Homo-oligomer: A and B are copies of this chain.
Amino acid sequence: MANFDLTRELAQASGGKIILLVMDGLGGLPLTPDGLTELESAHTPNLDALAKTGSLGLSIPVARGIAPGSGPGHLGLFGYDPIEYQIGRGVLEATGIGLHVNPGDVAVRGNFCTVDAAGNITDRRAGRIPTEEGAKRVELLKQIQLPGVETIVEAVQDYRFALMLRGPGLDGSIADTDPQATGVPTLPARAERPEAEYTAGLINQWLAEARKILTGHEPANMVTLRGFAMDPALPKFKDVYKLKAACVAVYPMYKGVARLVGMDILDVGGHGTPEDEFNRVAAAWKDYDFFFIHIKYTDSRGEDGKFEEKAKVIESVDAALPILLGLNPDVLVVTGDHSTPAKYKAHSWHPVPTLLHAPQTAMPDRAQAFGERECIMGALGQFPAAELMMLALAHANRLVKFGA
């Protein structure tokens, strides 16, 4: 439901409070055909009790067969058609290390590379230098000044860094400078439309300086830039849903995506455990209509292939759940942004177990526990993730009737 015209028409500013609890990569697979999934094998008495009285279903993050990254996975959950609304790679990279990408900024991913005396690339990843080597060179790059704009450079991981330009008149329609080949020089920044000529000129000045500064710092003696992007100007929660929304997350990437849709970001104290996150929600409960809570380690353990440890992360979420339930949310949705089966060790396309707890209006289905196979038989059926927000708003009594 990316039909935000209709959403704007029907959404009202009053109504109940909504919690969207996202366990990253929640969905899983049994290790053997007769086995249980991570979620099914986890001991989750609180979630199972909610499953008995609420509605279950399966969320399709983008489309059948598509394994989404974190950006589209979350945009879907936030109600944005992830194919229509895309966050450029430069913005996601910057956001992922905690940079704030503001309207007008141009952000891009950088790779250190190795060039020979003639300027031809001999290694597109600079021998995969470790993060600390990349960080040293980023310190050098921070010295580069450009006229009329601020430059922001931060190390990411290994040979990667993020670059942002901030100032008036910038435009991100610029082609990659990575030729995707060795034996050839890096490409100059080239504007893909006239409005970006000025920005491309600045980038080329920056690249010339970078080349000078990095000379002698082999193997990382040059850079390529990929995925120039700007703030995607996503419709904001306040505008589209009339929701005052907050994000409680530990990792910068998710805070960044939440910020792009207009959520306030609440800092999580303690050790960033589920309990810490839920207590942060409780502390801000009266100030917001909507809370997005992000749990990272379900995905991490899935990517590591650690079935038991992923189940334990789910159990730790379940154990802390009474903190949220004690707030008596009108709507609590528990889901994931995609599946990350430990068996698959990567984001997958499998639809994601979803639980809708809404004491007044949820249809209790026959599910007795929160798990993939119970969700198949749930009252919500299988649905595009981008339709979940409308369901949550409806159950929070935040949508008026459509038509007479």
Contact = CB atoms under 8 A, between A and B. Distances in A.
Contact of A377 (B1, B71, B343, B376): B376
Given A66-B390, A404-B92, A29 B363 contact: yes
A82 B391 contact: no
A315 interface: no
Contact of A364 (B30, B62, B392): B30
A50 to B, nearest CB: 10
B53 A33 contact: yes
Contact of A363 (B10, B71, B372, B377): B372
Please tell me the size bucket of the interface on A: 35 or more
A394 B65 contact: yes
A157 interface: no
Contacts of A62: 402
Interface in A63-97: 63-73, 82-83, 86-87, 89, 92-93
13 contacts: A3-B63, A3-B83, A34-B364, A58-B381, A64-B387, A65-B389, A65-B391, A65-B393, A66-B390, A69-B401, A71-B403, A86-B403, A349-B394
Interface of A: 1, 3, 6, 10, 29-30, 33-34, 52-53, 58, 62-73, 82-83, 86-87, 89, 92-93, 341, 343-344, 346-351, 360-361, 363-366, 372-373, 376-379, 381-383, 387-395, 399, 401-404
